[in-house]
Amino acid sequence: MLNIKQRNPRVWTSPEIDVFTLPYPRRIRENGGMSIKQLSETLINQIAAGEVIERPASAAKELIENALDAGATRIEIATSGGGKSLLRVTDNGSGMDERDLELAVRRHCTSKITDTLDDISTLGFRGEALPSIGSVARLTISSRRRDSDGGAEIAVAGGKRQHLRPSALNPGTIVEVRDLFFATPARLKFLKTEKAEAAAITEIVKRMAIAFPQVRFVLSGTDRTTLEFPATGEDHLARMAQILGKDFRDNAIEINAEREDVTLTGFAGVPTFNRGNAAHQYAFVNGRPVQDKLVLSAIRGAYAETIPSGRYAVAVLSIGLDPALVDVNVHPAKSDVRFRDPQLVRGLIVGAIREALARDGSRAATTGADGMLRAFRPGFQPNGYRPQQQPQQPWSAETSPSRPFSAAATGSSAYSSSYQRPVGNGFGERPQASFDGLTMPTARAETAQTSSWTAPPPASEAEAPSRFPLGAARAQLHENYIVAQTETGLVIVDQHAAHERLVFEAMRKALHSKRLASQVLLIPEIIDLPEEDCDRLMQFSSEFGELGLGIERFGPGAIAVRETPAMLGEVDASGLIRQLADEIAEWDTASGLSAKLEYVAATMACHGSVRSGRRLRPEEMNALLRQMEVTPGSGQCNHGRPTYIELKLSDIERLFGRS
């Protein structure tokens, strides 16, 4: 007889081993099986509660949905201990009578559906929320109909119902949940801190508030400051501004599209108005808040190449379709849905957002100007800068600070006598030109290597700022930033990022029309690469040829570049080829290249754009601004960074205390 203890539950050493040393299923078989029995109603409800009520926020969601289905226009939520100690939801809905209260705490009792799941027009329909909560907590429901003289109250604690009793209250319903999960202590161990649970409830309220702007929501309690969202009626954007901040109103683009009886409405933020996570993306299906992976993936796809990696768009989208074309009964929490035609829905979202971005998404986010204003702090001085001390002069009438300024005091000579040029200011020893009493360096071509500033001549009448959205170029700073004057303020443009976007859009357009024009190199450029990189590049040589990039194999470990895209002008062929080789190595297979041709175009555009540090002539700056105004998506580069920042005249006046 072997006396070997079981160590691996999948290996049986002897049929006579003690059954209590074996895994649980084997133990049942060794005992000859066990008879099947009906579970108690309390245990059934607790099992259901594990699916429906995962945390206090789940209970809050179910109770708020019931209030909305009852037609409430005011909903108050009070919490304590993150919802674990207390969760109270008060509404002014239609209310319930004594019979409804008795059925409400029983499983599978609901007034929202009849015999089919094909036409669900309410938020709740399962009839499991209240009995599930009552099985794991102390639940009290008080309700009164509008046409009733008095109300009633029923209580359930740990699955045990108490008798009805009269209750005095206003028309509506009050649902109070205390000591959540007291009947299932193991579940309490999996809850997060009170602060985290309170934040989850806040997020639920925000989602419901966005979906129902005609309802007033008030969230309060001992564990939080009071949060109130007044009703905004049909003004959905005003409610979104309450949740997402007032900046969203200024940076939102309206979405309104329809395809095959599926409608998409809502608002999406401009690409430069983005966040560090996806928490500011809200989706609704027939008025139901959902967190569906298909919708979130479609939003990411719509903003591809317009938002930097690791950043997320801000969007509120509402999908409307026949209830028979969507299954909301996928999960007990009702946060996931399944569409009959998912590709139709995804295509509608991606197409509608991209169309809106092409129409109105090129403008810069207003938050960029706000950040600029914060950078312009009065009295700011760079670290380490110390103004040069001037020799103290004896007091005289001419130097008295109480004397008003005069033309002589503000003239060129007076200014020069009291000002010493800091060392290394980048101006060099250039001739000085007087302009309205101010000493200003003159821009000259021969000082291109030392200058940080260029002043174009005054704009002609055809280049008047009032004629163009991006205004007329007035200066170039640090050989990279164009300062343009508009009718209402000024615009600062990143010349490299802006031109990169323009080149990319031209290449993208050519991709879908004809082969890009190329320029033949007089002497082919030979680039040494590992043999495996050469193999990958040559595998896609025909696709590169469509983009105007002609390559050939030059021995086992080299690539010869014979043609480059004409629109790129002078390009760093070596850097471009090496980066393309690295990117193809990441794709692994050739099957995905057709879907990534635009990404290749973006890489090529980056290498061929106007580089930082290049001096532009005034006509070149204005030409760049004019092209940006007619190019879709010119508000951000291929990597999603903003190409320009707009500063209103009112903001500038505020900096100087003039407003």
Element of type H or E holding 492: strand 489-494
* 614 lies in the same domain as 565: yes
pLDDT tens-place string over residues 401-438: 333 333 333 333 333 333 333 333 333 333 333 323 32
Could you give the CA distance from residue 643 to residue 364 in angstroms, rounded to a whole number? 8
The model's pTM: 0.59
* 223 lies in the same domain as 81: yes
* 623 lies in the same domain as 501: yes
311 within domain boundaries: yes
pLDDT tens-place string over residues 49-74: 556 688 899 999 999 999 998 999 99
Question: Higher pLDDT residue, 592 or 42?
Answer: 42
Please choose, from the candidates 476, 456, 486, 458, the residue with its C-alpha nearest in 3D space to the C-alpha of residue 629. Answer: 486
pLDDT band at residue 334 under the 50/70/90 scheme: low
457 within domain boundaries: yes
Question: Higher pLDDT residue, 301 or 504?
Answer: 301
Q: Give the C-alpha distances (Å, rounded to integers) separating 491 from 466, 476, 635.
A: 13, 12, 12
Strands 338-339 and 281-285 turn out to be: unpaired
| Residue that is last in its domain, among 343, 361, 379 | 361
395 within domain boundaries: no
The pLDDT of residue 139 is: 94
The pLDDT of residue 453 is: 43
* 223 lies in the same domain as 241: no
Please choose, from the candidates 333, 349, 252, 256, the residue with its C-alpha nearest in 3D space to the C-alpha of residue 295. Answer: 349
pLDDT band at residue 600 under the 50/70/90 scheme: low
H helices within 333-460, ranges in order?
Answer: 342-360, 366-375, 412-418
* 216 lies in the same domain as 236: no
* 558 lies in the same domain as 478: yes
435 within domain boundaries: no
Average pLDDT of the residues in 248-253: 89
pLDDT tens-place string over residues 355-367: 898 887 666 666 6
Return the structure tokens found at 265. Answer: 């409405």
pLDDT band at residue 512 under the 50/70/90 scheme: low
Residue 504 pLDDT exceeds 80: no
CATH code for position 109: 3.30.565.10
400 within domain boundaries: no
* 212 lies in the same domain as 251: no
Q: Could you tell me what percent of the chain has a pLDDT over 90? A: 24
Q: Which range has the top average pLDDT, 203-217, 237-251, 643-657?
A: 203-217
Question: Higher pLDDT residue, 236 or 540?
Answer: 236
Average pLDDT of the residues in 315-342: 82
Return the structure tokens found at 110. Answer: 């609901």
| Residue that is last in its domain, among 314, 343, 361 | 361
The pLDDT of residue 36 is: 75
Range of the domain at 265: 232-361
* 341 lies in the same domain as 457: no
Q: Count helices and strands (H / E) in the chain.
A: 20, 28
441 within domain boundaries: no
CATH code for position 309: 3.30.230.10
* 236 lies in the same domain as 258: yes
Considering its fold, how many domains does the chain have in total?
4
Query: With contact defined as beta carbons under 8 Å apart, do 248 and 314 qualify?
Result: yes
Residue 386 pLDDT exceeds 70: no
CATH code for position 599: 3.30.1370.100
Could you give the CA distance from residue 152 to residue 554 in angstroms, rounded to a whole number? 89
The pLDDT of residue 607 is: 60
* 506 lies in the same domain as 653: yes
* 127 lies in the same domain as 252: no
Q: Could you tell me what percent of the chain has a pLDDT over 70? A: 67
* 202-216, 281-295, 609-623: least confident range: 609-623
Average pLDDT of the residues in 624-633: 84
Residue 395 pLDDT exceeds 60: no
Average pLDDT of the residues in 370-379: 56
* 300 lies in the same domain as 178: no
pLDDT band at residue 213 under the 50/70/90 scheme: very high
pLDDT tens-place string over residues 128-163: 788 888 888 999 999 999 888 889 999 999 888 888
The pLDDT of residue 9 is: 46
pLDDT tens-place string over residues 263-289: 999 999 988 888 888 889 999 998 888
Which DSSP letter does residue 458 get? Answer: P
